[in-house]
Amino acid sequence: MKDKIAVIGLGYVGIPLAVELGKKFTTVGFDINPERINELKEGFDRTLEITSDSLVSATQLSYTTDIEDLSDCNIYIITVPTPINNKNLPDLTPLRKSSETVGSVLSQGDIVIYESTVYPGVTEEECVPILEEVSGLKFNEGFFCGYSPERINPGDKERTLTKILKITSGSTPEIAQRVDKLYRSIITAGTHLAPSIKVAEAAKVIENTQRDVNIALVNELALIFDTMGISSQDVLEAAGTKWNFLKFNPGLVGGHCIGVDPYYLTYKAEKMGYKPNLILSSRQINNGMSAYVAKKTIRLLVEGDKNIKGADVLIMGLTFKENCPDIRNTKVVDIIEELKDFGCQVDVYDPWVDKEEEKKTYKHGLIDNPFESDKKYAAVIVAVAHNQFIDLVEEDFASISDGSPIVVDIKGIVDNPSWRL
């Protein structure tokens, strides 16, 4: 029997995977959002990860919101988000609900593969019992599981899905080989078959935890050097001349991975009785950077003899990273709220973000290109290194400034800013 594959969740992770699978296998893309399905059917991907031509090239891919359309599939790949709640605890709701959905159509011999980032043990301890209960089938007898963590880098047009090596795993040795073979058929960079699902889960969650810790170090160094009046950029450039110095830059840490995944690992560690001090401290440092930037901006306003209350401040960039429309867990929002608490009037400009999408998520509102407006600002914060911002010069900022320009550069792309992180 030929495999028929269902991809559950068609966001930043699911749609690239569905497209590649849909070039070689009969594939059904499932999402609970009818608007998303309609857009994909019309050849438009609002994440901008996939072009219209690529969508068309997946000739064996169809889209649906109807779970019954998945009933004749034999491989289910779940790519739903794994967020945290307002207490920084794992929120497995999307994962549990998608497991219930798949369980309702699961048949003898089917395979369920999870790609969502989780702490070690989630697949077998949280998801499998749901699949068993809903389907009435027994794990590793009636159905099987695999885990192959996503490594999508939103906005990256060079390291796309097929060019990133994939970790694979399965609930039995035979299923592991089958899962690995499936991914090898579409991943040109190759695969790494992990010895167990838990190992694969752990590997993924530490990838982003390691990066979070490294960024926290340079963020703390940047804060130290700022108190000393030393440019952290100059220090890092000098230190980077040594062959084994790891190159990271200070900045905001948001998005769907780096600012979230460490909390999955720390949650499980604390459940097991271990206090992960380094990881938690790194999260605390990185979470505090937005407030530091906002307070630095306020200090610059004071030093420039500008009123704080009612001051017009422009923030350039809202996304969590450059050159993509992804605003999930962006820490720029924390800068906005902090400035508002000081009484500032904040405008946000981001040419990559859909205004309606922003309203649904943050409800702040975005402005049109400020360089085509007559409005003047007491301060400008360059928060994201979009291509549209890189070539701006001092004269550009002066043209939108009220009096002497105050320019805060978080990303290190502005010449002669008032202050740089």
**Which residues carry out catalysis?**
257
For the chain, give the number of residues: 421
The burial class, CB within 10 Å (0-12 / 13-18 / 19+), for 34 is: exposed
The DSSP bridge partners found for residue 314 are 347, 380
- Sequential DSSP letters for 221-257: HHHHHHHHT--HHHHHHHHTTSTT----------TTT
* Per-residue exposure over 239-271, b if at least 16 CB sit within 10 Å of its own CB, e if not: eeeeeeeeebebbbbbbbbbbbbbbbbbbbbee
For residues 6 and 63, the answer to whether their CB atoms sit within 8 Å is no
For residues 251 and 220, the answer to whether their CB atoms sit within 8 Å is no
> Hey, what are 396's tokens?
């550009």
Alpha-carbon distance of 399 to 139, in angstroms, equals: 65
| Three-state secondary-structure class, residue 63 | strand
Alpha-carbon distance of 331 to 421, in angstroms, equals: 15
Type of residue numbered 112: V
What DSSP character marks residue 127? I
